[in-house]
């Protein structure tokens, strides 16, 4: 504790030592916040010690990402070695605003078109977009017919390209994906961080309606507003570069070698002496 | 000496409970030598579980122990390590002995909830020590 005269009196206090916040160990002595020195993980962690995130995520979105995590990593959190994907970052955004522009048409299954806004501020400049999908989930206890075919017209207000018809892929009886990579790529690359989209659906059955489902046209208006998923490649040194580890033996936590010309060359596996 | 040899040969050379591999292990891996140790923690202990969703358990592991004088190939140490040891022993003991530190790592996948409510899956390099070395 600091006495009035200013000389510090150290009063070792058991509980205060046990309560030492691990992050105070990381703070630099002069207290200057040079969190830029810390790898992004520590920057994120040290900025948010113990506080809960301001907004809680949608439960369906969290359920989807937990399934993705189980597919990509072991229980201990070690990424499974897979050549199927090269992205080392996946971000899921739920729409920050949504308003219906028109009521849906039950006859042809034309869905109400939704104006959705996504805020992509969390996408870092070092994260390059590899793929992007709009993920719809069916908010119904009656699973939709498996042979559902949909066509959707997607318009992104910030995009110069005209609305494009996109095919929808029914992932299983719960999810439907629309690949929007071609529309989103130029926007994310140009650091556009607020995206406004409108989506028009037309769905038809390739088979008779679900036996226990409601007769007549497909009741699609119970689609939950979509999430936007970005599959990114984080190019920072702290991120795990799967393709790099597959091809080169990385030395112990060192960067690539410099050859005589001073240009960076990836470290090839060292031959035993 | 044949009768001596024959009587000697009846006695067991080694006690039955003798474990040969354990016997040699003490030469190859003397106790307290530089090796990998586990440290399992949960993000709840660090009060980060409200925004780190997965993994629930994280074992970053760490390296601890003495570096033997002749490290040679077992620790993947460069020749410099032995030079440093000789300097410490023969010339100047203020030069530290080689230290037992991680030599290889594996990445870690983390699922986090961002401040804006979005969800991020990220893979970070060098988050779990997988091998120790003397440097």
DSSP line for A149-160 = EEEEEEEETT-S
Tokens of A168: 């929808």
Residue B99, burial from CB neighbour count under 10 angstroms (0-12, 13-18, 19+) = middle
Question: Considering chain B, what percentage of its residues have pLDDT values greater than 90?
Answer: 48
Asked if the Cβ–Cβ distance from B122 to A93 is below 8 Å, we say no
Asked if the Cβ–Cβ distance from B55 to A73 is below 8 Å, we say yes
Give the burial string for A51-68 (b: 16+ CB within 10 Å, else e). Answer: eebeeebbebbbebbeeb
Which among A22, A78, A89 is the nearest to B46, CB-wise?
Answer: A22
Distance from CA of A142 to the nearest CA of B (A): 28
Task: State the average pLDDT for chain B.
Answer: 86
Most A-contacting residue of B53, B103, B119, B131 (CB-CB within 10 A), to test interface: B119
Asked if the Cβ–Cβ distance from A77 to B104 is below 8 Å, we say no
Residues B39-57 have pLDDT tens digits of: 999 888 888 888 899 998 8
For the beta carbon of residue B48, count every other beta carbon within 10 angstroms.
18
Which among A22, A49, A78 is the nearest to B106, CB-wise?
Answer: A78
Distance from CA of B92 to the nearest CA of A (A): 29
Most B-contacting residue of A63, A241, A252 (CB-CB within 10 A), to test interface: A252
Q: Give the per-residue pLDDT at A13.
A: 44
Residues A136-178 have pLDDT tens digits of: 887 656 555 666 677 778 888 877 666 667 767 666 667 788 8
Which among B46, B59, B119 is the nearest to A65, CB-wise?
Answer: B119
The Cα angle at residue A77 between residues A71 and A80, in degrees rounded to 5: 45
Asked if the Cβ–Cβ distance from A62 to B53 is below 8 Å, we say yes
| Cβ contacts of B121 on chain A, cutoff 8 Å | 65, 68-69, 72, 89-91
**Is pLDDT larger for residue A218 or for residue B36?**
B36
| Cβ contacts of B46 on chain A, cutoff 8 Å | 22
pLDDT surpassing 50 at residue B82: yes
Residues linked to residue A265 through DSSP beta bridges, in sequence order: A257
| Cβ contacts of A253 on chain B, cutoff 8 Å | 102, 104-105, 125-126
The values of phi and psi at residue A236, to 5°, are -75, 160
Kindly provide the ipTM of the predicted complex, given to two decimals: 0.74
Q: Give the per-residue pLDDT at A245.
A: 60
pLDDT surpassing 90 at residue B119: yes
Low-confidence ranges of chain A (pLDDT < 50): 1-40, 100-112, 208-219, 250-268, 273
pLDDT surpassing 90 at residue B108: yes
Q: Give the per-residue pLDDT at B98.
A: 92
Asked if the Cβ–Cβ distance from B106 to A93 is below 8 Å, we say no
| Cβ contacts of A232 on chain B, cutoff 8 Å | none
Q: Give the per-residue pLDDT at A229.
A: 95
Q: Give the per-residue pLDDT at A172.
A: 66
A156 Cβ neighbours under 8 A, 6+ residues apart: A180, A183, A184, A187, A195, A196, A197
**Spacing of C-alpha B14 from chain mean position:** 32
């Amino acid at each position: 504790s600091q006495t009035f005269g200013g000389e510090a009196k150290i009063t070792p206090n058991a509980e205060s030592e046990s309560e030492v916040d691990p992050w105070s160990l990381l703070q630099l002595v002069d207290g200057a916040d040079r969190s830029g020195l810390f790898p992004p993980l520590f920057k994120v962690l040290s900025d948010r010690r113990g506080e809960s995130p301001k907004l809680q995520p949608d439960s369906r979105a969290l359920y989807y990402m937990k399934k993705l995590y189980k597919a990509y990593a072991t229980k201990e959190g070690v990424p499974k070695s897979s050549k199927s994907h090269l992205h080392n970052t996946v971000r899921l955004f739920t729409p920050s605003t949504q308003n219906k522009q028109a009521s849906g048409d039950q006859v042809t299954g034309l869905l109400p078109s939704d104006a959705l806004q996504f805020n992509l501020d969390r996408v870092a400049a070092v994260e390059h977009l590899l793929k992007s999908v709009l993920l719809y989930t069916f908010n119904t206890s009656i699973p939709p017919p498996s042979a559902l075919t949909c066509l959707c017209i997607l318009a992104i207000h910030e995009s110069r390209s005209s609305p494009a018809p996109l095919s929808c892929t029914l992932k299983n009886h719960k999810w439907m994906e629309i690949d929007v990579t071609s529309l989103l790529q130029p926007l994310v690359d140009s650091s556009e961080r607020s995206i406004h989209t409108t989506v028009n659906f037309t769905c038809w059955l390739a088979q008779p309606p679900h036996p226990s489902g409601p007769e007549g046209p497909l009741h699609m208006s119970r689609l939950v507003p979509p999430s936007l998923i970005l599959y990114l490649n984080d190019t920072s040194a702290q991120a795990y570069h799967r393709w790099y580890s597959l091809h080169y033996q990385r030395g112990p936590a060192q960067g690539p070698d410099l050859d005589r010309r001073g240009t960076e060359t990836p470290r090839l596996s060292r031959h035993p002496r | 000496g044949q009768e001596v040899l024959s009587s000697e040969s009846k006695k067991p050379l080694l006690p039955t409970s003798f474990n040969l591999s354990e016997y040699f292990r003490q030469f190859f891996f003397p106790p307290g030598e530089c090796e990998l140790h586990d440290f399992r923690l949960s993000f709840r202990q660090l009060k980060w579980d409200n925004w780190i969703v997965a993994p629930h358990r994280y074992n970053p592991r760490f390296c601890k122990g003495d570096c033997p004088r002749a490290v040679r190939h077992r620790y993947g140490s460069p020749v410099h390590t032995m030079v440093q040891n000789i300097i410490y022993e023969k010339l100047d003991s203020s030069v530290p002995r080689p230290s037992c530190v991680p030599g290889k790592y594996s990445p870690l996948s983390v699922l986090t909830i961002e401040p804006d409510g979005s969800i991020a899956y990220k893979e970070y390099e060098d988050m779990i020590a997988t091998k120790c070395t003397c440097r």
